[in-house]
Amino acid sequence: MKFASVVTVVFCLAILACTAAGQQTATDSLTGSSVCTFDDGKQVSTQYNPVAAGRNETAPWGKVWLPGGSAMTFFTETEITLGNRLVLPGAYTMYLLPAKKDWTLIVSRNPKIDSPYDQNLDLVRAPMQNGEMAQPEGQFKLFFGHTGPKRCEINVEYGKNRAWIEFMQK
């Protein structure tokens, strides 16, 4: 419970900093937070535990992955579509299902990061685009890219892997 409170405070500060600066995206890889602000000021944000990656390390293929040992949080202040599914405003957990060729982003209805993963609570399982980077990334990174007035994408980098998926504000 104490960790969840600290995460919430850090997350709120990141959101406030992003709003005050008038930025479209904000990322802090030290605390593991990222925010995407749509043109109307509403935001989508994530929080995760940063984790180091070895030079040739890959994510655990074929298994639901909790980078840093706990679920990532996913907050949205607005309705979005992700993988052709509607995600209502609220708090969720987020997981990755890496594979050699295809990655999947999972958004779960369960908002508790310390709960074990439960497939029955999946709200969205969305296929991600995937590629290999020329230089390996030394740390797990998750960040947003603001790609249009009502569009953002989630980007994930780990080792030589890079995966991404776009979502839209409803």
Domain ranges in the chain?
Answer: 2-169
What is residue 117's predicted lDDT score, i.e. its pLDDT? 94
**CA dihedral defined by 79, 81, 87, 88, rounded to 10 degrees?**
10
- Low-confidence residues of the chain: pLDDT under 70: 1-30, 54-58
What are 140's two structure tokens? Answer: 């797990």
- Buried b / exposed e over 33-65, threshold 16 CB at 10 Å, is bbbbbbeeebbbbbbbbbeebeeeeebeeeebb
Query: Cα Rg for the chain, rounded, in angstroms?
Result: 15
Give per-residue pLDDT as tens, 46-68.
Answer: 999 888 776 556 678 899 998 88
Write the DSSP symbol of residue 149: T
Q: Which residues pair with 47 in a beta bridge?
A: 33, 73
Q: Which residues pair with 168 in a beta bridge?
A: 81, 151
What is residue 19's predicted lDDT score, i.e. its pLDDT? 37
Write the DSSP symbol of residue 74: E
What is residue 91's predicted lDDT score, i.e. its pLDDT? 97
Which residue from 126, 128, 131, 127 is spatially nearest to 161, judged by alpha carbons?
131
At 17, is the secondary structure helix, strand, or coil? helix
What is residue 131's predicted lDDT score, i.e. its pLDDT? 92
At 41, is the secondary structure helix, strand, or coil? coil
Q: Which residues pair with 108 in a beta bridge?
A: 93, 122
Considering the entire predicted model, what is its pTM?
0.81
